[in-house]
Amino acid sequence: MLKKFAGMLSLSVLILGTAACGNSNITSNEAASESNEELKVYTTVYPLQYFTEIIAGDEASVETILPPGSNPHNYEPTTDDMMKIAEADAFIYNGSGLELYAQKISEAVKSEKVKLVEASTGIELINHSHDHDHGEEGHDHEEEDSHKDEQDGHEHGDKDPHIWLDPMRSIEIADNIKETLIELMPEQEDTFNKNFDELKGNLEELEHKFHTEIESLPENKIIVSHAAYGYWEQAYGIEQIAVSGLSPENEPSQKELQKIIETAEEYGLKYVLFEQNVTPKVAEVVRKEIGAEALRIHNLSVLTEEDINNEEDYFTLMQMNLETLSEVLSTASTTSPHNEDDEHNHDHAHDEEAEKIYSGYFEDSQVKDRSLLDWEGDWQSVYPYLLDGTLDEVFEHKAEHKGDKTAQEYKKYYETGYETDVERILFEGSKATFFKNGKESSGEYKYDGYEILTYKAGNRGVRYIYKSVKESEGIPRYIQFSDHSIYPTKAGHYHLYWGDDREALLDEVTNWPTYYPTEMSGKEIADEMMAH
């Protein structure tokens, strides 16, 4: 302990001494701003470097302190790292318990003018997934396994720090980085905002691709060598089964092989996912011993030399991950025989479950976050079709089949529900355009979470809430979607609530303007309504 303290003390003296002897060579954020020189930024994990490069463009030089292929959990910064950071404009680290050395760096450079940025600030973190960790079975080896986990560098605490694997949380990371850059170089605010908006659109598109692809696959379990994928569990319904202590470089021990065999047999899985740097030797042992194929999944914390040579980036690596997941989750498990009757029963059960959800009966755990891309497109209000009589057959149909109201009573009920003067809405990425009385108003919206509501009848609904990025005349501060879905899926129609008071909107249950795609005719909309 004394040795470590002395090392930190001497390092701090070294930094201060260098600053005092050569302050003309130190690039502070103030000097960079005044001379209009590019900013100098250092980061830890790769996504922070990539997002900063994209947002800053030509206005910053960005480097990671982590060597290619290193382990970001247990990396020890060098004296040279400390010196570089002390002379930089900003040091951006992930936080949330990922980099234990970040605190050491912060203490060493706190007297310098470098801006220290914890990129996870303000971002909702999930609890770290230990539920499926098969590396700690049996109390006799609990202490041994605990020490081994610490040596492997996968001890994160209670919260999962791998937030960059979630495209929606990555938008929040990028927003924190953008605000830092604006603070350091305010004259480039327009450039940083423009670059951020483009990055945000690409992340939203990536989120949509993950949801669309994974939602269509029959399986949901993956065996991994590191429990880094909790945000995929939350967002896409994937279940990660982590076999702790496995190394991508070293051949598995008999004990570790036995863990893999038992786990693979228990779940009938044919693949084991190792993170980047898995060696052919490890893959061959896994294939030979248990008949499972070892595939690579990339946690993106650092690039490998191969990644750099191939000019990979955040999006190409995430696309590879999606392709790997598609391969793994497309293969049915072998835990039970598969035949046409099973397929029919599965489909029937799935249909029944979907019908229950549509009717408002579901568990809280089934509800997932959704991107605004689920409602992307050009939408028309159905209110004009109610007024011109096009929907009369819908009300007659309801009266005939439900019998609790007359057709006229149904029409009066829906007239209150559908009433609106916003005849058309266009959603493009994060941008919403409202058409009202021949005029249009546009604004950017960001996700603000969801709320589960319980109705008087006992069924429930979910409001997906978006908040305008900036207050602007002509657009509501909040919009809330309700479309009978509780997880990511492309909407066929929706009810929309809007206004400037988030909580008051949640209490609104009598007026729910309803929108269908503009390419549909009134007759097609009526037919669709009667089908439900």
For 297-351, how does the pLDDT look when each residue is reduced to its tens digit (9 = 90+)? 999 999 999 999 999 999 999 999 999 999 999 875 555 444 445 444 444 444 6
Calculate the dihedral angle through the C-alpha atoms of 164, 165, 170, 173, rounding to the nearest 10 degrees.
-10
Claim: this prediction has a pTM higher than 0.85: no
DSSP state of 482: E
Opening angle at CA 461, ends 348 and 407, nearest 5: 85
CATH fold of 2-125+160-203: Rossmann fold (3.40.50)
Query: What is the number of other CB atoms lying within 10 angstroms of the CB of residue 418?
Result: 21
Helices within 330-391 (DSSP H only): 340-359, 383-387
* Cβ contact 119:92 at 8 Å: yes
Calculate the dihedral angle through the C-alpha atoms of 210, 212, 214, 215, rounding to the nearest 10 degrees.
140
Residue-level pLDDT at 145: 40
Phi, psi of 441 (to 5 degrees): -135, 135
Do β-strands 494-499 and 514-517 pair in parallel, antiparallel, or remain unpaired? antiparallel
The backbone region for 315, taken as left when phi is positive above 0, alpha when psi lies in -120 to 50, beta otherwise, is alpha
DSSP state of 361: -
pLDDT band at 384 (very low <50, low <70, confident <90, very high): very high
Opening angle at CA 350, ends 262 and 217, nearest 5: 55
**Sequence ranges of the chain with CATH classification 3.40.50.1980:** 2-125+160-203, 217-329
DSSP state of 262: H
Give the pLDDT confidence of 440-469 residue by residue, as tens digits: 999 999 889 999 999 888 899 999 999 998
Query: What is the number of other CB atoms lying within 10 angstroms of the CB of residue 167?
Result: 24
Q: Is the pLDDT of residue 381 over 70?
A: yes
Mean of pLDDT over the chain: 83
* Cβ contact 444:200 at 8 Å: no
Q: How far apart are CA 492 and CA 476, in angstroms?
A: 23
CATH fold of 372-531: Lipocalin (2.40.128)
Please state which of the ranges 141-145, 266-270, 469-473, 487-491 shows the lowest mean pLDDT.
Answer: 141-145
* Cβ contact 71:153 at 8 Å: yes
**Sequence ranges of the chain with CATH classification 2.40.128.20:** 372-531
Give the pLDDT confidence of 234-293 residue by residue, as tens digits: 888 888 988 755 555 566 677 777 777 777 778 778 888 888 766 666 667 777 777 778
Kindly write down the DSSP assignment for every residue of 120-173, as one continuous string: TTTPPPPBP--TT-TT--SGGGHHHHHHHHHHHT----SB---GGGSHHHHHHH
pLDDT band at 63 (very low <50, low <70, confident <90, very high): very high
Please classify residue 530 by burial: count the beta carbons closer than 10 Å to its beta carbon, then call 0-12 exposed, 13-18 middle and 19+ buried.
middle
The encoded tokens of residue 104 equal 């050491």
Give the pLDDT confidence of 92-137 residue by residue, as tens digits: 999 988 988 888 888 888 778 899 999 999 998 888 654 444 433 3
In terms of CATH, what superfamily is 217-329? Nitrogenase molybdenum iron protein domain (3.40.50.1980)
* Cβ contact 452:364 at 8 Å: yes
Please classify residue 100 by burial: count the beta carbons closer than 10 Å to its beta carbon, then call 0-12 exposed, 13-18 middle and 19+ buried.
middle
Q: Which residues pair with 118 in a beta bridge?
A: 93
Amino acid letter, 226:
H
Helix (H, G, I), strand (E, B) or coil at 222: strand
What length is written for the chain?
A: 532
Residue-level pLDDT at 344: 46
pLDDT band at 146 (very low <50, low <70, confident <90, very high): very low
Q: How far apart are CA 212 and CA 225, in angstroms?
A: 26
* Cβ contact 41:61 at 8 Å: yes
Residue-level pLDDT at 109: 86
Residue-level pLDDT at 94: 95
